[in-house]
């Protein structure tokens, strides 16, 4: 957080702890656009940070998760799908950008904005 604050002027909401499946993670979002998400998870989780910090994903709202997942699977691979765990997002590895694309069902946007006061 301190590096991004120093280089971009980003300000942050209070970090939170969450649980998805068997993993407990820490997450925080920047207050203003462009929105940065910092997430830290345990070994074996999609947010495993045992090898150090890294760029993980670019996030996009999806109006059709099925259509967008199919399109991304054509250029990459599904790395993690949280939908079976009751969370409306998935990560898709795109090697040409060296990171994942995160799709989040647009129906989650109002709750996301309320939760993070955005």
The domain spans of the chain are: 1-54, 55-118
The pLDDT of residue 15 = 96
Report pLDDT digits (tens) over 4-29. 888 888 999 999 999 999 999 999 99
Residues 6+ apart with CB under 8 A from 56: 39, 47, 99, 100
How much is the pTM? 0.81
Q: Give yes or no for a cis peptide into 34 (omega within 30° of 0).
A: yes
């Amino acid at each position: 957080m301190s590096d991004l604050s120093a280089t971009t002027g980003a300000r942050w909401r209070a970090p939170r702890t969450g649980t998805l499946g068997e993993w407990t993670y820490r997450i925080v979002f920047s207050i203003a656009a462009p929105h940065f998400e910092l997430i830290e998870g345990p070994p074996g989780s999609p947010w495993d940070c045992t090898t150090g910090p890294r760029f993980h994903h670019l996030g996009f709202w999806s109006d059709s998760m099925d259509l967008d997942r199919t399109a991304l699977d054509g250029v990459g691979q599904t790395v993690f799908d949280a939908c079976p765990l009751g969370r409306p997002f998935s990560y898709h590895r795109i090697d040409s950008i060296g990171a994942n694309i995160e799709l989040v069902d647009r129906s989650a946007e109002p709750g996301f904005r309320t939760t993070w006061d955005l």
